[in-house]
Amino acid sequence: MKLTSIEVIPVKIIINVLILCITLFFISCNSKNHKAPYRDNSIDDKTSFNNRFLDSVHLENFIESQNSLKKFRDQFFQFYEQRNFEFAWFDANGMTEQAHSFFNLQESLINNLNDSSLYNEALQKQYEWLANNEHAKKVINDSISLMEEMQFTGQFFRYASKVYRGSNINAQDLGWFIPRKRLNIARLLDTLIDGVEKPLNEYEPLNKQYRLLEKYLVKYTLLKKEGNWLPIPTGKQFRKGDENVIISNIKNRLFLLGDYNKRDTSILFDTTLVIVLKQYQKRFGLVENGKITLKTIEKLNITYDDMIKRILINMERARWMPPYTEKVDRVVVNIPDYKLSVYDAGKYSFSMPVVVGTAAHNTVIFSGNIRYIVFSPYWNVPNSITKNEVMPAMKINMNYLKKNNMEITKFNGLIPEVRQKPGLNNALGRVKFLFPNKYNIYLHDTPFKDVFLDSKRSFSHGCIRIGNPTRLASFLLRRQTAYTADSIQSLMNQPTEKWVDAKPLVLVIIKYFTAWVDENGLLNFREDIYGHDKKMAAKLFD
**pLDDT tens profile 48-62:** 445 678 889 989 999
Average pLDDT over residues 106-132: 84
- Write the single-letter amino acid at 364: V
Count of other CB atoms within 10 angstroms of residue 467: 20
Contacts of 439 (CB under 8 A, 6+ apart): 364, 366, 462
Contacts of 177 (CB under 8 A, 6+ apart): 171, 364, 365, 366
333, 509 in Cβ contact below 8 A?
A: yes
The Cα–Cα gap between 354 and 334 comes to: 9
- At residue 136, the pLDDT reads 56
Average pLDDT over residues 418-443: 95
pTM of the model: 0.81
Q: What is the second-level CATH architecture of the domain 326-378+422-511?
A: Beta Barrel (2.40)
- At residue 398, the pLDDT reads 92
Q: How confident is the model at residue 38 (pLDDT cuts 50, 70, 90)?
A: very low
Q: How confident is the model at residue 129 (pLDDT cuts 50, 70, 90)?
A: confident
Q: Is the pLDDT of residue 216 over 90?
A: yes
Largest pairwise CA distance in the chain: 117
Lowest mean pLDDT among 177-181, 259-263, 475-479: 177-181
Highest mean pLDDT among 76-85, 104-113, 124-133, 222-231: 76-85
- At residue 19, the pLDDT reads 38
353, 452 in Cβ contact below 8 A?
A: yes
Q: Is the pLDDT of residue 3 over 70?
A: no
Evaluate the omega torsion of the peptide bond into residue 37 and state whether it is cis, within 30 degrees of 0. Answer: no
Q: Which residues pair with 367 in a beta bridge?
A: 509
Q: How confident is the model at residue 143 (pLDDT cuts 50, 70, 90)?
A: low
- At residue 187, the pLDDT reads 82
Q: Is the pLDDT of residue 115 over 80?
A: no
The Cα–Cα gap between 153 and 30 comes to: 19
- Based on its alpha-carbon atoms, the radius of gyration of the chain, rounded to whole angstroms, reads 31
Top pLDDT among 98 and 529 is at 529
Instruction: Report the sign of the C-alpha dihedral through residues 145, 151, 153, 159, in that order.
Output: negative
Looking at residue 163, the DSSP 8-state letter turns out to be I
Contacts of 431 (CB under 8 A, 6+ apart): 373, 374, 375, 376, 377, 444, 445, 469, 470, 473, 491, 492
376: left (phi over 0), alpha (psi -120 to 50) or beta: left
Q: How confident is the model at residue 432 (pLDDT cuts 50, 70, 90)?
A: very high
Mean pLDDT, the chain, rounded, equals 86
Exposed / middle / buried, residue 428 (Cβ in 10 Å: 0-12, 13-18, 19+): buried
CATH number of the domain at 230-302, please? 1.10.101.10
Q: Is the pLDDT of residue 483 over 60?
A: yes
523, 283 in Cβ contact below 8 A?
A: yes
Average pLDDT over residues 342-352: 95
**pLDDT tens profile 513-538:** 999 999 999 999 999 999 999 999 99
The Cα–Cα gap between 466 and 508 comes to: 14
- At residue 200, the pLDDT reads 56
Q: How confident is the model at residue 12 (pLDDT cuts 50, 70, 90)?
A: very low
The total number of residues written for the chain in this structure = 542
**pLDDT tens profile 310-329:** 999 999 999 898 877 678 89
Q: How confident is the model at residue 31 (pLDDT cuts 50, 70, 90)?
A: very low
